[in-house]
Each structure stands twice: as C-alpha cells, then as structure tokens.
Chain A
Amino acid sequence: MLHIKCPHCGMRSQNEFSYGGDATVKRPELNKEISDQDWDNFVYYRKSLRGKHKELWQHISGCRQWIKVERDTATHEIFKTVKAHEDI
C-alpha cells in the first residue's frame, strides 16, 4: 500500500486518496487562439513516464484538497508532495 503525505493532513494511506493523472498537463488558455492539436494533446496525449512522475491526487476521504505528488512509477517511491498550486 502507498503512504502519501498530504501537505495539509500528514501521512495517510492510499485508501483515502483518488488519482488525478499527470500534473504537468496544462489546459490551453481561454480566450486565445489554439489549434486542434493543442486540444488533442491536452485531452489525450500523455508521456506516461517510467521513473519520476509528477501527478495529481485528491485527498477525497480527508481534507478533499487536490495535491501534487512526485512518485516513481516503477518503484512507487514517493519523493515529494506539495499543495496543488505549488510547483514540485
């Protein structure tokens, strides 16, 4: 089982969290001319790295806040967790 340190609540078990995917994906800016390809990249295309991966999790059975986690996708080691608006 993963143990994730919520920056708001401290160390909690994986059961309390819900996964939110790649945290490096940026929604294209509103009110700006963007190509179809930009949208496709945002919606469908992912690097899905092996190794260090920045990702979003939601502490759904806790404080309900979104957080950012840097985790190794091969070993599941968690290096760092920060609040959603902070940079890893």
Chain B
Amino acid sequence: MQKYSIFNLIKNAFSGHQKWDLAWKDATPKKEYDVVIIGGGGHGLATAYYLAKEHNITNVAIIEKGWLGGGNMGRNTTIIRSNYMHDDNALFSEFGMDLWRKMSQDLNYNVMFSPRGIINLAHSDAQMNIFARRGNSMRLNGIDAVLLNREEVKEIIPMADFSDNVRFPIFGGLMQPSAGTARHDAVAWGYARQADSMGVDIIQNCEVTGFDVVGGKIQGVRTSRGDIKVKKIGLCVAGSTNILAEKLNMTIPVETHLLQACVTEPVKPVLDSVVTFGAGHFYISQSDKGEMVMGGDLDGYNSYAQRGNLPTLQHVLTEGIAMMPFLSKLKMLRTWGGIMDMSMDGSPIIDKTHIEGLYLNCGWCYGGFKATPASGWTFAHTIAQDRVHKLNEGYSLSRFNTGHLLDEKGLGTKTWIS
C-alpha cells in the first residue's frame, strides 16, 4: 500500500495527483470466507481491521447494503469522550481513548483527532454533587476529570448565558480535558484503507437477505450478490439490528429510534470545546469549518426513517438558545437524522449469541462514534477467540436476564422517563 507522507505528497504533485492508488478496491464476493462482518460502518470496518492486525485473520469480508460509512458513521456529531461513572463503561471507553490518540499514526491517515475537552454543565447544587461523584469515579479509573465552578466555566465559554435572569443558571461543570472530536469520515476511510491493504474484502451495495443456520450453527449468509459460506458472522448494523435479528428469529432488547443533528452556517472560531446542557439534552461543538454542530434528544418514537421531524428539532434548539443565546442569530445550514439502536439500559451489547458463530455488536444509543476503535478491537477479540474480552464482559446480552444492567444515565429507549 502506498504510504501517505509529505514526500509522497510532493512526488505526486509533479503528476498532478493523478497517480495515487485507490484507497481500497471494489471487491466482488468470494464463495467462502473465514469471517463475514455485516455492516460497513465504523464499527464493522474497525472490527475487520483489528481481526487482520491483532488476530491475523485476513480472509474476511465486510458486507454493506449501502455505501461505506453512510449510516451513523456519516451522521454523528463526532464527539469522543470517556466521562463515565460505571467501571465497565469507563474502562472500555478509556481504552478507546488510547486508541484514538494513536489512530492517525496507526492508520497512516489523518483522522483530525482534536482533544479539545468536553464540559457537562451543572445547573443546581445537587447536580454539582452528582458531577463531583462521577468525576471522582473517573479519576479512580485513571480518566482525567476536573470539576469547574461558575467562574471557571465562564472563562472557557464566556458566550454562554451567565446573566442572573435565566431559568437554568450555570452553577459549574464537569470537564474531561482529554475528550474531543475527530473527522468522522476519515475514521471510516482510514480503517477501510488499512483493512483492504491486509486482504479484507469490502463489498458495498450488497444486502443480506438471509442466513443459513443448521443445528444452531452459522453455515453461511445469503446476500443480494450470491450466497457465501462462512462459519463466523459479526453483526454491526446499528439501527438495522432488529431487521436482521428478525431474519435470525431472534428478539433483542433493542428498539430502533431516530436521532437528529444539525449544523449552522460557518462562523469564525467561537467555541473551542464540546459543551453539553445539563438541564435537558443538548450538545454542541464547533467544526473545523466553523459550523456549530448540535444534537439532542431522540424523536421519541420507533423510526427507520433516517430523517426527522421539526418539533424535536425545535425543542432541542430551544435548549441550545437557552444555554448560548447567540445561536439564535445563526442560520441553520443542514439537518439530518440517523437510526439508533437504542438498548433498554442505554449501554451497548458486544457478545456471543445462542447461535454458534453469530456475534452481536449493537445497542450503541447516542454513543456509537466515540466507541468505534474500542468496539472494533473488543469485537474482533470476541470473534477471533470465541470468548469476550475483559473489557466487554459487562456488555453481555444476558444482562437483561440476570439483572446486571449498566444503567449509566438511564438513557435507553424511554426518553420520556429520563
């Protein structure tokens, strides 16, 4: 594979950048693979990459119904963080933070990881206490956390509403300075390029139509581009998990919901961290292009539409304007929606299933993008070794039967309760 470097950049400048290799080839499906990953989004691509890199399994295909990175990988708000209280979530996410820090070098692809910090705002004394507790838990797990008072928050985000006459005054906030953002498409492309170079077949425009399960074991997968014989299948299809589960006669503790995001017109640099509103559900950051990137609550009812409704957007932006009034002067440039695999306790599932050779990766709710490397790494381990890694032990499918829920924030499908 051609290395991306300053020297190659200069060399290719002489030929007008016409002679670069393709980043990955357009593969046609073979008759048989060792592992098939269904879903060519971030998690699927990362899984294939780590299968090849960490476990030397290269006879792998990624099957994608649409195009590479065209689902939630291209629809998220690019936030990366590990500010969790529970050990299972904290250790898993912090392992991921380490992979994020090394990712550009590891993939030889600039993913523009920008550790600009995230601030969760608190709007009452009680919320400050909760944040202090979460911050302490984070620090015990080796994650950086700083509890900020009102004045310290004001220094970082002076454009927020610090006047006396507001419904939800800012009391302070919990900051994770090492959190940040990254260029989401670059992450997908970087993983795809490296996976392809190690022999993984990336097959786009290929829909899964069924599975061959004999005696409780996976024997193959049927697709719109032919049948494939395979003993191990990894399911990484986020909002489409329920559709494929139905083909497998499985019911899973996940509902599919719609989450919207939007950006404003680009403006000069004003916000150099990620900020979340503590009295509702709203988050904002500024992209490198200058757009204010915003998101909030689910639309609130089961949906596969990949486009949202205005009442929810209005509700979310009302919170945004309450927090940062200057937003009301900006024009909205784009809005879009993605379909989320909302698990019942708000935490993901990376596990084996009752079908031998079928592995499940779903339930990412609002936090799929940041988990991309850690999810791929642990899922690859689970598939290759046929057993879960210590890092994803807590993300078991059976926890809904045993009662070991990971209810970090209670942000599952039932948003009207939270």
In the bound complex, do residue A50 and residue B255 qualify as a contact, i.e. CB atoms below 8 Å apart?
Answer: no
| Residues of the A chain whose Cβ atoms lie less than 8 Å from the Cβ of B300 | 19
In the bound complex, do residue B256 and residue A48 qualify as a contact, i.e. CB atoms below 8 Å apart?
Answer: yes
Interface of B is mostly: mixed
Residue of B nearest to A13 (CB): B311
The 8 Å CB contact of B254, one of A18, A40, A46, A55, is A46
The 8 Å CB contact of A53, one of B243, B302, B309, is B302
Question: Chain B 23-64 against A: per-residue CB contact (8 Å), 1 yes, 0 no?
Answer: 000000000000000000000000000000000000000000
In the bound complex, do residue B344 and residue A55 qualify as a contact, i.e. CB atoms below 8 Å apart?
Answer: no
* Contact residues on B (Cβ < 8 Å of other chain), bracket: 20 to 34
- B105 contacts partner chain A, Cβ-Cβ < 8 Å: no
In the bound complex, do residue B243 and residue A45 qualify as a contact, i.e. CB atoms below 8 Å apart?
Answer: no
How close is A79's CB to chain B, nearest CB, in angstroms? 15
- A49 contacts partner chain B, Cβ-Cβ < 8 Å: yes
Segment of B180-188, B245-253, B352-360, B371-379 engaged in the interface with chain A? B245-253
| Residues of the A chain whose Cβ atoms lie less than 8 Å from the Cβ of B401 | 36-37, 40
In chain B, positions 199-246 with a C-beta closer than 8 Å to chain A are 242-243, 246
In the bound complex, do residue A48 and residue B302 qualify as a contact, i.e. CB atoms below 8 Å apart?
Answer: yes
- B301 contacts partner chain A, Cβ-Cβ < 8 Å: yes
- B305 contacts partner chain A, Cβ-Cβ < 8 Å: yes
The 8 Å CB contact of A19, one of B251, B254, B301, B311, is B301
How close is A48's CB to chain B, nearest CB, in angstroms? 4
Per the bound structure, the CA–CA distance linking A45 and B254 in Å amounts to 7
In the bound complex, do residue B301 and residue A45 qualify as a contact, i.e. CB atoms below 8 Å apart?
Answer: no
In the bound complex, do residue A44 and residue B243 qualify as a contact, i.e. CB atoms below 8 Å apart?
Answer: no
Given known contacts A44-B344, A74-B305, A15 and B311 CB-to-CB distance under 8 angstroms: yes
- B400 contacts partner chain A, Cβ-Cβ < 8 Å: yes
| Residues of the A chain whose Cβ atoms lie less than 8 Å from the Cβ of B256 | 48, 50, 73
Per the bound structure, the CA–CA distance linking A74 and B202 in Å amounts to 27
- A21 contacts partner chain B, Cβ-Cβ < 8 Å: yes
In the bound complex, do residue B305 and residue A73 qualify as a contact, i.e. CB atoms below 8 Å apart?
Answer: yes
| Residues of the A chain whose Cβ atoms lie less than 8 Å from the Cβ of B414 | 21
In the bound complex, do residue B304 and residue A73 qualify as a contact, i.e. CB atoms below 8 Å apart?
Answer: yes
In chain A, positions 1-51 with a C-beta closer than 8 Å to chain B are 1-2, 13-15, 18-19, 21-22, 36-37, 40-41, 43-50
In the bound complex, do residue A1 and residue B309 qualify as a contact, i.e. CB atoms below 8 Å apart?
Answer: yes
* Count, chain A residues at interface, CB 8 A: 28
How close is A51's CB to chain B, nearest CB, in angstroms? 8
In the bound complex, do residue A46 and residue B255 qualify as a contact, i.e. CB atoms below 8 Å apart?
Answer: yes
Interface centre among A1, A49, A50, A53 (most CB of B within 10 A): A50
Interface centre among B242, B256, B302, B344 (most CB of A within 10 A): B302
- A64 contacts partner chain B, Cβ-Cβ < 8 Å: no
- A76 contacts partner chain B, Cβ-Cβ < 8 Å: yes
- A61 contacts partner chain B, Cβ-Cβ < 8 Å: no
| Residues of the B chain whose Cβ atoms lie less than 8 Å from the Cβ of A44 | 253, 344, 400
How close is A4's CB to chain B, nearest CB, in angstroms? 10
How close is A54's CB to chain B, nearest CB, in angstroms? 11
In the bound complex, do residue B251 and residue A46 qualify as a contact, i.e. CB atoms below 8 Å apart?
Answer: yes
In chain B, positions 319-364 with a C-beta closer than 8 Å to chain A are 344
Per the bound structure, the CA–CA distance linking A10 and B210 in Å amounts to 42
Residue of A nearest to B243 (CB): A50
Residue of B nearest to A2 (CB): B309
How close is B399's CB to chain A, nearest CB, in angstroms? 10
| Residues of the B chain whose Cβ atoms lie less than 8 Å from the Cβ of A47 | 242, 246, 251
Q: Give 4 closest A-B pairs by Cβ, nearest first.
A: A44-B253, A48-B242, A19-B301, A44-B400
Q: List 11 A-B contacts (CB under 8 A).
A: A13-B311, A14-B311, A40-B401, A43-B344, A46-B254, A47-B246, A48-B255, A49-B242, A49-B246, A73-B256, A76-B305
A contact residues vs B (CB 8 Å cutoff): 1-2, 13-15, 18-19, 21-22, 36-37, 40-41, 43-50, 53, 55, 71, 73-76
